[in-house]
Structure 1
Amino acid sequence: MYAVVKTGGKQYRVAAGEKLKVEQIPADVGAEITLDQILMVGEGESVKIGAPLVAGATVKATVLAQGRHDKVKIFKMRRRKHYQKHQGHRQYFTELRIDAINA
């Protein structure tokens, strides 16, 4: 069984037992959270597609870690103009383990 969930403005295809990194969710490490914005649930040939959400479907997940991704380096330059700009960014993430999908 798999589901397509929406969190942090992005969509993820998840299945039970998978680990994934999503945009930061304010929760403690070890806490169990419920994702309720489920766009699609599928099992084999049967697929339920929400309009826009699947009614009554939830995904249970456990927070494994809170952290920051690797640094993304931004470098802007205009040739022959003596202009260079350096910038960096590290995005926060929450690592989840998908425990169960309830359709």
Structure 2
Amino acid sequence: MARRYGSASRRPRQHNAAGDTMTPPQQHDVAAMVARERVSERERERERERERERERERERERERERRRSARRKRDKQAQEEQRLPLSDQIGLMV
């Protein structure tokens, strides 16, 4: 049966590896602290991964924009080449 202690002073002491005394609740606090640290580390890793993904998406968008711009430039150039020279246009109007 679990024994209940009225106060911390009557609670038996336990020693950690360094020989410091730690009461059981302090050990739980350390375990919780370590668990929180692991969770926050995973959270930071996820955030870094999301940031890398956003950067890749921005790079893809820049690449698409460069292609669109080049295509517009080519189309405009081809259109200019298809138009009749000005001297021929004048000849048609007369």
- TM-score, structure 2 length as denominator? 0.18
Q: Which has the higher helix share?
A: 2
Name the structure with the higher strand share.
1
When Rg is computed on C-alpha atoms for both structures, the one with the higher figure is: 2
